Structure formats: C-alpha cells, structure tokens
Structure 1
Amino acid sequence: MEGNFLPNIDYGFAISRGVRILSISPVFAEPVAEAALGMALDLARGISRSDRYFRQGSEKYGLDANRKAYSLHRQHLGFIGFGDLGRAIVPLLAPFHPTIKAYDPWLPPEYIESMGCQAATLQEVLTSSKIVFVVAGVTAQNQGMLNREAFLSMPAGAALVLVSRAAVVDFEAMLDVAATGHIRVATDVFPQEPLPLEHRARRGDNLLLSPHQAGALEQTLAQIGVMVTADAELIARGLPPCLCKIAQPETVTLWRSKPVEQS
C-alpha cells in the first residue's frame, strides 16, 4: 500500500492487461487539510511566534504583538494543485469567506469553478494571494517549479503552506526568500527526512516546521484497511473501485514521487 504512484511498476503493461493499480492517497486528504489550515492560521496570526517570544521573555501585548499579523477572513487565498488535498481544504476555509484562486494544469477551469474557486494561472495565484497552499504532487512537469523568482513575486508578508512534496519547490531558494522576511513559510515536507540536525532550516527565520506528521494519525492509518477492503470487494463483484485513487494511463507515468530517504 502506497500513497503515491511510484516508478516501480510497468504501468503500461499492467493497464493493458486489465490490472487495477490503486493508491490510498485519498485517505490522507482530511487530516492533512486540517493541519494545513492550522499552519495557515499560525503564519497569519503569529501564534507560535508569540509563544517563542514569551519563553524568551520578549513578548509584546495587544496591537504591538499583531503589527505584521492578518486575518483569514475575506482574504485572498491561492492553491497550487487542486487534487484530493486541495478539495479537502476548501470547505474548511468556507467560514472565512475568502476569495480563492487555484492553478492546476491537469484540470479544466469548469471543474475548479464548480468548487467555488477561480481558475487562474500560476503567476496570478502567486501575485494575488496572501496565503498560498502548495498541494500539488511532484511530476515530471513541475519539479522545482516554485523557484526564487516565484517566491519573490508573492506579496510582501505572504504565507506559503507546503504540505505536498518538497520536490515541487526549490527548497534552498524558499529558505533564502523566507530569511529576508519577504514571505513566511510552513512546511510539513523536506528534501531529506529526517532533516539533518545541521540543516539551516532548523535555524531559519519566518519558518514553521512540521516533521511530515500532517497525515500520520492512527485513525487515518486504520481507515486504509477499510478503504482497500471496500474497493477489493467492488472489484471482486465486477464493479469499479471508488475509494482509492485509480492510476490513469495518461498521467501515471508522469508522477515523480519516491519513497522518503531515511538517514
């Protein structure tokens, strides 16, 4: 069982023989979505930053503590990628009544608009959003897509929430731009995991770090068995699976996810 389509299967041969190839990735959408919302709130309101200041004895009070804070209410938000995870985050944002733009080259504008969002170009999402959720899986077409220029094009003080795969971004460039104070970053994923103790991200400013924990809940892992069993029963009855993600011949060979390297 795997949450990604890895390059360890001859997909063309399997599909031509009628073999179903499924991923259990949809099971992680809801838990990662709520973690992403928590990260966005923290970056916007400076919650963990104020906690650190308290522990250092340098806290500020009232408005002085919020000079660089902003609300999610009626805010301009953006999505890069709009698969299972993006669609799980959108309903959580509804109480804030935001304007949401989404970029996903694998989806038609009509699909994005059916979710109450505006289809947009990558540049439009980056330049107009106060908070950008990066939820795109890594493919042959988007590795390192978010580079230094992309981060610098974001509004000053904007926040980036990275909860998909680190390979979508130029990770070092992201750290560089965050260090200048131009953007704030929350990330649940890293180029190498566990992150080396000497890695600069551990000492970086304007960073909220999460150790790839967003989807790893016991209740979520238990749900994998329910999902796989239900789809296996459908297949045994001659019906198509409906809970797991199905490998599509047009795109499955473009995925570039790989098992996380452990040090």
Structure 2
Amino acid sequence: MNHPTAPPLPRTLLAMSAQIHGMLRTDPAFDRLTEVATVDPDLLVTDFDSAEAAVLAGTEVLFTHWGAPRLTEDALRRMPGLRAVVHAAGSVKAHVTDAVWQRGITVSSAAAANALPVAEFTLAAILFANKRVLDVAHTYRTERAPIDLLTFYGGYGNHRRTVGVVGASRVGRRVIELLRPFDLDVLVHDPFLAPKDAEALGAEPAGLDDLARRSHVVSVHAPELPETRHMFDDRRLALMRDGATLVNTARGSLVDTGALTRELVSGRLHAVLDVTDPDVLPPDSPLHDLPNVLLTPHIAGSLGNELGRMTAWAIDEVDRYARGLPFAHPVGPDELSRLA
C-alpha cells in the first residue's frame, strides 16, 4: 500500500547580525526550527553580496532578525525561489523593501510578541510616574533621613489619574488592556481608530491637543512617519499640565528633543525616555543627569530571554508556511506604512 509522501520542508536561510545569531543559537526555542524547515542553523548570511550564490538560489524562506541585510531588487534577483520572509523581531522596515511585495513574497513579523515587553515596561513607567517614584528616590538618596511624604508628595498617586495613550498600535492597545484593572481614566488618540473601537478598548477617544491637556501621563506609541515627526513640539508640550510625565517607548523623532529638554530642565515636566533623537544623546545632554528624567537605552522591547518568545512565534510561522497555511502575523505594504 502506497503512503503519501510528506512535502519537503522549506529550504530556509538565516539572515541577521552575527551577534544576534550567536544569542539565538543558545536559546532552546531556536532548536525547533530544524523540525519545521530544512536549515543549517550554523549558516548565516550578513551580506547578500558575499553570500554563496547556490545557497541564495535555493532559498525558499528567509528567517531574519535584527541586522538582516536589506532585500533590494539586486538581492532578490539572486534568490529566485524566495517565497517568504519570516522576521523573528519587530519592525521589518530596515530590510524589507517594496521590491519584496512586487515579487509576491509574503512577510511575517514577530512584532506582536515584541509588543508585550514594551507594554509591560510602559505600565511600570505609568504607575511609577503617578507615584513620583523617581522624585521620592532622588530626595531620599539626597536627604538620607525621614521624608515628610504627605507634605512633599501628598498630591500624587494612581487613583483616578488620567493616562493618555497616543497611538492604538499593538503596543498601545496592550497598554490600554494592562491599565484596565487600575482606577485610572484612559484617553486614546489615533486617527485610524473609530470612536466606537476606542470605547471597545476601554478608553475615551480624544484629540491630541485635548489628550495632552488632560493627561497626567502621556504615553507615545505612534509610528515614525513624516506626519508624526515632532508631534510633541514646543506648542504641544506646553499644553501638558504642570508636573505631567511624557513616556516615549516608540521612536525618538516623535518628540522634539530640544523642546522637551527645555521643559525638563525647567522642572515643569517629567519624562521616561527609552528612545531619543538622536538615538544616543551626546554626553553633555542635561537629560543624563536630571532627577525628573528616567533615560534608558532602548530596553523596553525584547531583551535577554524575551528574545526566545519572538523566536518561538517566528518558528510557528515557518511551520504554518511548511503546512501550506497562511501566516498568523502577516505584514503587508499598507500596514507597513503605519508601523514603527
């Protein structure tokens, strides 16, 4: 009796930075890739120009991560059998070009997995901001003596504070979801979000200026687009109430760094900044030392063992492709224009 032969597993090639590849090779989640694809886990491409022609020509699925080389028309000509790009990280903007979709190549991203730690970081930032944790810690470190908390911080706390979420992205929606158990009032601004959909999320739709005026904490989760550059400029920052906190875990360009620096130096506003413009601030930037600023080097997204979650999601996508199923987390050209 003849038994049907299982279709061959897709020939898959790794494309990412050597550093990331080294980290993935030690992650137990990565081992499953060999079960769902024909892949050499030790073979890595960091530059399509120097890659072996036969390897590129035989590739059906490209498994990418941070540091993947750009998929230009020239690169794609060297991969005539390429049918899918599976990105084991968030944004694909750095390496996926229009030529990919013009060739009919499908794309998947683990952005939804990467959104989870960003939202968790944001939740912690919001709760800490409303409790003035940075201020209290700085004062306690300076005084090294009992502090009259009711006198200095009696007006702060997390009861019935207003949080403004800018951008109903994957992260923004997850932040709103995480805020539900708390006694907070949540506003949301997103030009692509209908009022009924905002209410379904559990947030009140608001114009951006109105959100800036009313919020005790403003958290930015919008994509980096020409129209969102410096969306928080001198004028809009001035609308924020005295003592409000700006949280930015999206992209540094969404905030005018000079304008925000002036507000922070004056002490009128507070900030939690995981991203800045430029990405690395100059050593003499006052933001490094201000007591009302928490400055971190882009750690809100997947870090350390959290990379394994994105890897697992991406391998699930390769498995779906191998079984002839559509991606669970596809990325298309229209969606790409609204992503970070």
TM-score (norm 2): 0.68
8 A Cα contact 2:162 2:185, kept in partner: yes
Give the 5 Å matches for 1:154-193: 154-193=240-279
8 A Cα contact 2:134 2:291, kept in partner: no
Letter in 2 for 1:249: P
Shift of 1:58: 6.1
Whole-angstrom distance in 1 between the partners of 2:156 and 2:118: 23
**1:252 matched to 2:328:** no
Shift of 1:50: 1.9
Letter in 2 for 1:203: D
Give the 5 Å matches for 1:105-254: 105-242=191-328, 244=329, 246-253=330-337
**1:52 matched to 2:138:** yes
Question: Structure 1 88/143 Cα, relative in aligned 2: closer, same or farther at 3 Å?
Answer: same
Whole-angstrom distance in 2 between the partners of 1:204 and 1:111: 39
Q: 1:9 aligns with which of 83, 86, 96?
A: 96
Aligned length: 252
Deviations 1:101-131 (A, max 9, x none): 1111133333222211122211121111111
Instruction: Identify the residue that residue 47 of structure 2 maps to in structure 1.
Output: none
Deviations 1:186-235 (A, max 9, x none): 11112234433222211335212222112243231011211111112212
Unpaired segments of 5 or more residues in structure 2?
Answer: 1-64, 66-88
Letter in 1 for 2:199: E
SS state of the match for residue 79, structure 1?
strand
Out of 191-200 and 135-144, give the one that drifted further.
Answer: 191-200
Instruction: Identify the residue that residue 61 of structure 1 maps to in structure 2.
Output: 148
Whole-angstrom distance in 1 between the partners of 2:263 and 2:320: 49
Instruction: Identify the residue that residue 88 of structure 1 maps to in structure 2.
Output: 174
Whole-angstrom distance in 2 between the partners of 1:41 and 1:197: 29
Unpaired segments of 5 or more residues in structure 1?
Answer: 258-263
Letter in 2 for 1:219: N
Letter in 2 for 1:85: V
Whole-angstrom distance in 2 between the partners of 1:138 and 1:193: 13
Deviations 1:152-206 (A, max 9, x none): 1011211111111111111111111122232211111122344332222113352
> % of aligned pairs identical?
26
Question: Structure 1 130/98 Cα, relative in aligned 2: closer, same or farther at 3 Å?
Answer: same
Shift of 1:148: 0.9
Whole-angstrom distance in 1 between the partners of 2:196 and 2:101: 29
The structure that has the greater radius of gyration is: 2
8 A Cα contact 1:188 1:211, kept in partner: yes
8 A Cα contact 1:158 1:184, kept in partner: yes
Runs of 4+ in 1 over 3 A off after TM superposition: 192-196
